[in-house]
A and B are shown apart, each in its own frame.
Chain A
Amino acid sequence: MEQLTQDFLRTKKLPHIWCPGCGNGIVTAALVRAIERAGYNQQDVVIVSGIGCSSRAAGYLNFNTLHTTHGRALAFATGLKMARPELKLFVIMGDGDCSAIGGNHFIHAARRNIDLNAVIINNHIYGMTGGQHSPLTPTGMKATTAPGGTLERPFDLLELARGAGATFGARGNAAQPRQLEQLISRAANHKGFSVVEALSQCPIAYGRRNKLGGAVEMLREMKDKAVSVEKASTMDVDELKDKTLSGVIYSVDAPEFSEEYYRSIGKA
């Protein structure tokens, strides 16, 4: 297993460019193990990414990888999937990338229920450009574009996707990489548009500015706040305050777009 995972990495491109303490590497490793767990052939897997810290992952993964424009990864992936529906697509995006400029593509991919696996690394900040607030920055948190704390309200990404028609939504975090790996693997096995929100830490551009400590403290807080869907069902509203739901939040069956399309033209 160790050797195979190594095969999925472009080891010549390492070490990566991420800052010390960044969670992107943890999420990328979980993705690699999940692909392995799903049992896909290396040549059948395509990784599509947008632009930003998270999207650099595409450069380190030893599959067909497509590093696309800001926010548009899902639109590129939709074209790929429709042209070659047998391919297994994983779309890596950041919170800023996916939910700002990418917001429109995100809801339409969900609406079509096209079989793409969206992995959104949510570190609550635009990291690569130095720490501007994103549509997933919690209200009141500081950023270079909100030195006094942002007044804006963040999206609940999974609820947004569900409202738009996504059929699988899960949330994991960088502090619990084994669970994250399982969630991505389940998303891979789900037919339809799957969203995995991977909470992650950016100690440099987010943690430091908001006095959240270093990577260790941020990971600890992430872990402490995480409550599984099962456990949450036994807790009341007060107990759930300030907690983050983790695990598979929803998973339903619905017709998948590329399959329906090829059936409609008699090629399925």
Chain B
Amino acid sequence: MPFEVVSGSQAAAIAVQRVGVDLVAAYPITPQTAIVETLANYDAKGELGCDFVSVESEYSALACCNGAAAAGARVFTATASHGLAYMHEMIHWCSGARLPIVMVNVNRAIGAPWCLDPDQGDSLSQRDTGWMQIYCSGAQEVFDTVLQAYRLSEELLLPCMVVFDGFYISHTYEAVDIPDKEQVSKFIGPSNFKAQVVPGEPGNIQGIIPGEIQHQLVKKRSETMMFAPSLFEELNKSFEKIFGRCYRAVEVVAPIGAKTAIFTAGATAETVRWCLPKMEGTAMIQLRMFRPFPAEQIRSIIEKNNFERIVVIDRNCSVGVGGILAQELKAALYGMSKLPAVHDLILAGGIDLTGEMLGQMVEESDGNVKTGYKWGDELL
């Protein structure tokens, strides 16, 4: 298959072109802009084959996707940081409307003050909106995850956010295996979800309902999303048959006898992957799927490997509580008979993770102390 050297952003855009969507709506924001620009270039060359709407705000971008998806169109948008925050109402709305929208979010810190550096708090703070969220650690994963997001989304009728770190992934170039449209169509196929707006079948959609019905709808939405981890594994089996590679909702790299596992998501997972050979007795758990949170898979990995200590790398901070991945992990471990210690390294804002920091963090995380945290600047 042809390898091309592309940035993470380009990988996302090319994946969208290969999928064959009906409508793209987007608004520029750093560090996401290259995705929209790449799509606009395809459009100008007549190679996008869909409507390209350059809207006046991120809110409009997602509203435009909502309208188009309600009419049965396969849609795409991309944003970052403040753009995602601005979409917040629509993010909830699209999930409630059960529309299979795929959106890429490129992580960037949220102000004030203004900051461009990658912090995952933008997307993690959208965790309760009813979207599936998948975090990628490199450009190949970005390309592949966009394809998989459409399958997940259209089968469960829930929107899916594909997330990757600004600059570390969006602006760095890697060799990516980019299959052609024909190959991709073997995995994706045409969209066949039912349109909500159908000419000749008038109805009032997304209208007002009593709380009792809303309760039922939320319950159904939540129960449906719980199928995502197993569906993801299933989809990856057919993905592997076509493309020769596959992913898991939670990936583990565990050298024999490792007692400590580093738990992280996104670009930091790639840093950890490279550092592992120099870190004796240390494993890595890479969280790809964050929503729904694959608690069962994580518990089974920890039980199977007998991990005694988990060191979480959180490129975010829920102010007043701490790292979000650590919170979610601890909640998932509740009730385990052999509970590992959980220590958190918080890199919120824009601090690079180095091998030295990782080594120091692992060394200083005492297995006898059940939980603790350190700020990245304390290890510099």
Interface residues of A (CB under 8 A from B): 51, 67, 69-71, 100-101, 103, 126, 128-130, 132-133, 135, 144-148, 150, 152
| Segment 13-31 of B: residues with Cβ below 8 Å from A | 26-30
Do residues B28 and A132 form an inter-chain contact, with CB atoms below 8 A? yes
Do residues A69 and B82 form an inter-chain contact, with CB atoms below 8 A? yes
In the complex, which residue of chain A has the Cβ closest to the Cβ of B32?
A129
In the complex, how many angstroms separate the beta carbon of A145 from the nearest chain B beta carbon? 4
Using known A-B contacts A67-B113, A69-B111, A145-B28, determine if residue A132 contacts B36 with beta carbons closer than 8 Å. Answer: yes
Using known A-B contacts A129-B28, A130-B33, A132-B28, determine if residue A146 contacts B54 with beta carbons closer than 8 Å. Answer: yes
B41 contacts chain A at the CB level, 8 A cutoff? yes
Do residues B41 and A132 form an inter-chain contact, with CB atoms below 8 A? no
Do residues B86 and A144 form an inter-chain contact, with CB atoms below 8 A? no
Do residues B40 and A146 form an inter-chain contact, with CB atoms below 8 A? yes
Contact of B57 among A101, A129, A148 (CB under 8 A): A101
CA distance A135 to B54 in the complex (A): 10
0/1 interface trace, chain B 311-340, chain A, CB 8 Å (1 if under): 000000000000000000000000000000
CA distance A103 to B111 in the complex (A): 22
Do residues A144 and B37 form an inter-chain contact, with CB atoms below 8 A? yes
In the complex, how many angstroms separate the beta carbon of A29 from the nearest chain B beta carbon? 24
Residues of A within 8 A of B27 (CB): 100
Interface residues of B (CB under 8 A from A): 26-30, 33, 36-37, 40-41, 43-44, 54, 56-57, 82, 86, 111, 113-114
CA distance A101 to B87 in the complex (A): 12
In the complex, how many angstroms separate the beta carbon of A189 from the nearest chain B beta carbon? 32
The 4 closest A-B pairs by CB, nearest first: A147-B44, A100-B56, A132-B28, A129-B28
Using known A-B contacts A146-B40, A147-B44, determine if residue A71 contacts B30 with beta carbons closer than 8 Å. Answer: no
Do residues B33 and A129 form an inter-chain contact, with CB atoms below 8 A? yes
| A to B CB contacts below 8 Å, 18 in the list | A51-B114, A67-B113, A69-B82, A69-B111, A100-B27, A100-B57, A101-B57, A103-B56, A126-B28, A130-B37, A132-B28, A132-B33, A132-B54, A144-B33, A144-B37, A145-B36, A147-B41, A147-B43
Do residues B56 and A145 form an inter-chain contact, with CB atoms below 8 A? no
Residues of B within 8 A of A129 (CB): 28-30, 33
Chain A CB within 10 Å, residue with most, of B30, B54, B82, B111: B54
Secondary structure at the A interface, as helix, strand, loop or mixed, is: loop
Residues of A within 8 A of B30 (CB): 128-129
In the complex, which residue of chain B has the Cβ closest to the Cβ of A152?
B54
CA distance A133 to B27 in the complex (A): 10
In the complex, how many angstroms separate the beta carbon of A38 from the nearest chain B beta carbon? 29
Do residues B86 and A101 form an inter-chain contact, with CB atoms below 8 A? yes
In the complex, how many angstroms separate the beta carbon of B377 from the nearest chain A beta carbon? 24
Residues of B within 8 A of A67 (CB): 113-114
Residues of B within 8 A of A128 (CB): 30
Residues of B within 8 A of A133 (CB): 54
Contact of A145 among B40, B111, B114 (CB under 8 A): B40
Using known A-B contacts A132-B28, A135-B56, determine if residue A70 contacts B82 with beta carbons closer than 8 Å. Answer: yes
In the complex, which residue of chain A has the Cβ closest to the Cβ of B26?
A145
Residues of B within 8 A of A147 (CB): 40-41, 43-44
In the complex, which residue of chain B has the Cβ closest to the Cβ of A130?
B33
CA distance A71 to B29 in the complex (A): 13
Residues of A within 8 A of B40 (CB): 144-147
CA distance A150 to B36 in the complex (A): 15
Q: Known pairs A51-B114, A133-B54; list 4 more (Cβ under 8 Å).
A: A132-B33, A144-B33, A146-B44, A150-B54
Residues of B within 8 A of A71 (CB): 57
In the complex, which residue of chain A has the Cβ closest to the Cβ of B86?
A101
In the complex, how many angstroms separate the beta carbon of B79 from the nearest chain A beta carbon? 12
CA distance A132 to B55 in the complex (A): 11
In the complex, which residue of chain B has the Cβ closest to the Cβ of A69?
B82
CA distance A145 to B40 in the complex (A): 5
In the complex, how many angstroms separate the beta carbon of B76 from the nearest chain A beta carbon? 14
